[in-house]
Amino acid sequence: MRVLVVGGGGREHALCWKLTQSPKLTRLYAAPGNPGMAQLAECFPIPVMDIDGLVALAQRERIDLTVVGPEDPMAAGIADRFEAEGLRVFGPSQRAAEIESSKAFALGLMHKYDIPTADYAAFTDPEQAEAYLKRKRPPFVVKADGLAAGKGVVICPTIEEAREAVHEMMVQRHFGDSGGTVVIMDYLEGEEASILAVTDGEDIAVLAPAQDHKRIFDGDRGPNTGGMGAYAPAPVVTDAVLSDVRERVLLRTLRAMKAEGRPYKGVLYAGIILTADGPKVIEFNCRFGDPETQVVLPLLEADLLDLFLAACEGRVKEVSLPSPRRASACVVVASEGYPGDHRKGRPISGLEEVERIPGTVVFHAGTAQKEGRIVTSGGRVLGVTAIADDLRSAITRAYEAAGQIRFDGVYYRKDIGHRALKRT
């Protein structure tokens, strides 16, 4: 089978890495890919939003399956376009992807179908948003309705901060049209987890529960980022929690989407807070998480290509995934200054040394090839991932490996997995 992976980050490198383990794979393509993916796939410099270009590539290369990584093309209708051309694609339709691209839609759906989440209200008028804030008690969670690369969420301990967040989103349009509608959501207290499932719209195959680390600094301080590291399985997600999330969140959401005339196919990612009243959803994503994918796929003892085909062909019912027997950890190696301004083009060394450490794999995220060298080209540069029999060993191994990576301005968190380690 000829498979095309759309995207060029750590998540897509992990997808390529896992797909190459499938005996069914004959040829792997990526667009645009990155230097890490280029070792596994033939890369074409087509941007993820150039849907016409991607369709043309899939037709020309007779691609059997296209796997879409990021949310933007999903929200732009890439799956609908591919299907209209008779091309098989793994990912939700534009209307189904609204579960991520409109927080107001997702929250409305959850309330309508009794899927556990927080109270909220959605506004298109800043004055009404202010009036609502006055009636509620802090802390507030203010979210731009649309996509904002994970940055459109502000946790506000005071009403003044919430007012300012509303003003920045709705009036100053810090996130462009994404802030035309704003949702204000009650703050949920508890530990966070990412639960990802592959689905055909009817049934689900749930992957190892993971935990991301969104803040830039140790101890979960500082601004939010795309994710500074992850581990799986997250022990906070016990079997009881997982089966609860499966029934009351994931399956209920699929039935709800079907009832709304938006059948859902692809990855459904539930961002959960484990509150004193049980798991509650803070957001849905319509795609694999980054960096969750980098820890979840190495634990998957199944053929990923088969799993994607099962989702495309409505056969997920027949799939049964074994529970993960090992543990994995990913340390995101970033450029100093991220998520703010940071330098690019810094030569990276230590990649070959890390590849020699058993149970370790480096996923490229923000790298480029320049004059025969791998250099930094983004904020999150590499996802250094290790797998071991237990979580503590996986974390130790990931840090050993991350310590080998050198470039000017290298930065990574030193406490990935701290919550899980405290439990054991």
DSSP secondary-structure letter at 372? T
Q: Is 282 in the site for ligand AMP (CB under 6 A)?
A: yes
Residue pair 339/216 in contact (Cβ under 8 Å)? The answer is: yes
Size of the site for ligand GLY (CB under 6 A): 7
3-state helix, strand, coil in the chain (%, to 5): 35, 30, 40
Minimum CB–partner distance for residue 152 and ligand GLY (Å): 12
CA–CA separation, 176 and 145 (whole Å): 11
192 binding partner (options ligand AMP, ligand GLY, none; Cβ < 5 to 8 Å by kind): ligand AMP
72 scored as a contact of ligand GLY (CB under 6 A): no
**Is 289 an interacting residue with respect to ligand GLY (CB under 6 A)?**
yes
Per-residue b or e along 99-111, where b marks 16 or more CB atoms closer than 10 Å to that residue's CB: bbbbbbbbbebbe
- The smaller minimum CB distance to ligand GLY, of residues 285 and 360, is found at 285
Determine, following the binding rule CB under 6 A, whether residue 292 of this chain makes contact with ligand GLY. yes
Q: Looking at 271, 278, 403, 409, which residue binds ligand AMP (CB under 6 A)?
A: 271
Minimum Å gap between C-beta 395 and ligand GLY is 18
Instruction: Report the nearest approach of ligand AMP to the CB of residue 271 (Å).
Output: 5
Minimum CB distance to ligand GLY, residue 227 (Å): 4
Residue 285 makes contact with ligand GLY by CB under 6 A: yes
332 binds ligand AMP per the rule CB under 6 A: no
Query: Which residues, in sequence order, are CB contacts of 92 under 8 Å at separation 6+?
Result: 74, 79, 99, 264, 265, 266, 286
Cβ-in-10-Å burial (0-12, 13-18, 19+) of 406 comes to middle
Q: How far is the CB of 291 from ligand AMP (least distance, A)?
A: 13
> Whole-number minimum distance, CB 207 to ligand AMP, in Å?
18
Question: What x-and-dash track marks residues 210-229 binding ligand AMP by CB under 6 A?
Answer: ----x---------x-----
Residue 150 as a binder of ligand GLY (CB under 6 A): the answer is yes
How far apart, in Å, are the Cα atoms of 267 and each of 67, 152, 297, 410, 412? Answer: 11, 22, 13, 32, 28
What H or E segment, with its residue span, contains residue 181?
A: none
Consecutive H or E run containing 405: none
**What's the CA gap between 243 and 218, in Å, rounded?**
31
- For ligand GLY, the binding residues (CB under 6 A) are 150, 212, 227, 285, 289-290, 292
